[in-house]
Amino acid sequence: MFATAEDGTKIWYDTAPGPAPVLLLHGFASDSESTWVRTGWVRALADRGHVLVDLRGHGQSDRPASGYAPESLARDVLAVLDAAGVSTVDAVTYSMGGLVGWELARLAPGRVRRLALGGIGGRAVERDGMRRVAEALSAPGLEACVEEVAGHRLDGPAPVPVLFAAGEQDEVAADAPEFAAGLDAPFVSLGRRTHVNAVSSRRFKEAALGFFGS
């Protein structure tokens, strides 16, 4: 299914009904299939329901030349929630998806109840780091996203209750424990996981579901 963003961009999404749906937001140079379906997240959320989104420029969504700043991506996701008829969600995010979830919670008070943020801390996104990720994942055509996201960080007070989770060998989120402590938010270590494989951690799934009240 597709929702239409404010600028006409088509944003792919998929939803499964349930009593407490969870929004799933993938990271840079990835998509919903590889981040959430293949890693068992959709299966783990079968009793709650879910909303999957391919952020613009990624997966099955359109690839326009602009509109990639975190607030713009959050507006895309809000269009998805409206199209899907989902009023309130908990959200699990990974890496860049955390910036989007954070902005969504600020943009639309009451639509996001809680956020479980994986693979992200408080550091600003580095342009060169994003380019290395795109190259490693063989994901061309994302330079506009790199330019508009680089320099952004999680800033200000947490917009909703948040949980942080990261692997001990995740260099991208190395400051996550300290950043979470500064927000008086819980942090869950995913053991010796890296930025690449932490999202599949069973501990991450259990922590998020526990945080949401499952």
**The CATH number of the domain where 191 resides is what?**
3.40.50.1820
Answer yes or no: are the C-beta atoms of 162 and 114 closer than 8 Å. Answer: yes
- In whole angstroms, what is the distance from residue 85 CA to residue 18 CA? 12
Q: What percent of the chain has pLDDT over 70?
A: 100
Nearest C-alpha neighbor of 94 from the set 158, 151, 41: 41
pLDDT band at 96 (very low <50, low <70, confident <90, very high): very high
Largest CA distance in the chain: 42
| One-letter amino acid for residue 40 of the chain | G
pTM: 0.98
pLDDT at 18 over 90: yes
Domain that holds residue 89: 2-212
What value does the CA radius of gyration of the chain take, rounded to a whole number of Å?
A: 15
Domain count, the chain: 1
Q: Is 22 helix (H, G, I), strand (E, B) or coil?
A: strand
